[in-house]
Amino acid sequence: MGGIVEGKRALVVGVANKRSIAWAIARRLDEEGAHVALTFQGERVEKDVRKLAGELGNGPVPVLPLDVMDDAQLDAAVAGAADALGGIDILVHAVAFGKVEDLGGRFMDVSDDGFQLALDISSWSLKRLAVRVEPHMRTAGGGAIVTMSYVAAERAVPGYNVMGIAKSALESIVRYLAWDMGPDNVRVNALSAGPVRTLAARGIPGFGDMVDNAIERSPLRRPIDADEVADAALFLCSDLARAVTGETLHVDAGYHAMAI
């Protein structure tokens, strides 16, 4: 029996290492029959991403360089993935960045440059990728785009600062893209994951406290892991979610629902 995304062609942007949520999603899509292409940013992570690509079992995995701030690389990565896979049905956007000095401390101290950089990379890059995958999804008769958010898009999380603003913008972009791309049967959704112990998360000041707080106050009273986020992404990328678009789906053990 085939998987629930059997034969789908997925471009996964944002894999950095084996602990990243993007990698968990790529692996889950592969397990359920999708043909996956991966991207990497910079030589520092290229070796790790290529090694991970070798662990996927559903056909050769294109591995393409991509800096989401570089128009030429955006064009080349999307075109290269489409050529290698024979099209694109799924886009996973798991890209975020904020300057260390703009995380922690007071939001009032965030720099103008830091604000612009965080929004360009963490939010606007979704729109820039969507513009490029749209023709391929239109040709395919539809598609699914999934991006990664966090509860700080809805509530102030002290210390998260500029990234909270970026996630708010990201969720708004999801809704506008859903409207624009809906007539071509392209669905656009966000996953608002609870704190997951990734390597990138270690750079967030007070991250351990964020995890402990989520465990204490979430209805399920436990942490979540990357595989649980990947399962939710798989659902949104599959035909099981064919009527779901413009949505932010929380995968946080219910933490977002609580007022305490």
Contacts of 195 (CB under 8 A, 6+ apart): 201, 207, 210, 211, 214, 223, 224
- Chain-centre distance for alpha carbon 102: 21
Phi, psi of 146 (to 5 degrees): -130, 135
Domain assignment present for 215: yes
Domain that holds residue 116: 9-250
Q: Which of 124, 131, 232, 244 is nearest to 185 (CA)?
A: 244
C-alpha–C-alpha distance, residues 110 and 118, integer Å: 11
Q: What angle do CA 123, 255, 91 make, to 5 degrees?
A: 35
With 60 as the cut, is the pLDDT of residue 92 above it?
A: yes
87 band by pLDDT with thresholds 50, 70 and 90: very high
Query: What is the CATH classification number for the domain harbouring 54?
Result: 3.40.50.720
H-state helical runs in the chain:
21-31, 43-53, 71-85, 112-119, 125-140, 162-181, 207-217, 226-237
Domain assignment present for 99: yes
Mean pLDDT of 176-188: 98
> Is residue 223 within 8 Å of 217, Cβ to Cβ?
no
Tell me the average pLDDT of the chain: 93
Residue pLDDT, tens place only, 201-242: 555 656 667 777 788 889 998 989 999 999 999 999 999 999
pLDDT on residue 22 = 96
Domain assignment present for 169: yes
pLDDT on residue 201 = 53
With 70 as the cut, is the pLDDT of residue 94 above it?
A: yes
With 90 as the cut, is the pLDDT of residue 166 above it?
A: yes
How many domains would you assign to the chain? 1
Q: Sign of torsion, CA 180 182 184 190?
A: positive
Domain assignment present for 260: no
pLDDT on residue 195 = 81
Domain assignment present for 35: yes
Q: Is the pTM of this model over 0.85?
A: yes
Q: Which of 127, 25, 150 is nearest to 74 (CA)?
A: 127
End-to-end CA distance of the chain: 45
Residue pLDDT, tens place only, 125-148: 999 999 999 999 999 999 999 999
Domain assignment present for 165: yes
- For the annotated catalytic residues, the residue numbers are 150, 160
Residue pLDDT, tens place only, 6-62: 999 999 999 999 999 999 999 999 999 999 999 999 899 999 999 999 999 988 999
Concatenating the DSSP letter of every residue in 153-173 gives GTS--TTTTHHHHHHHHHHHH
Domain assignment present for 244: yes
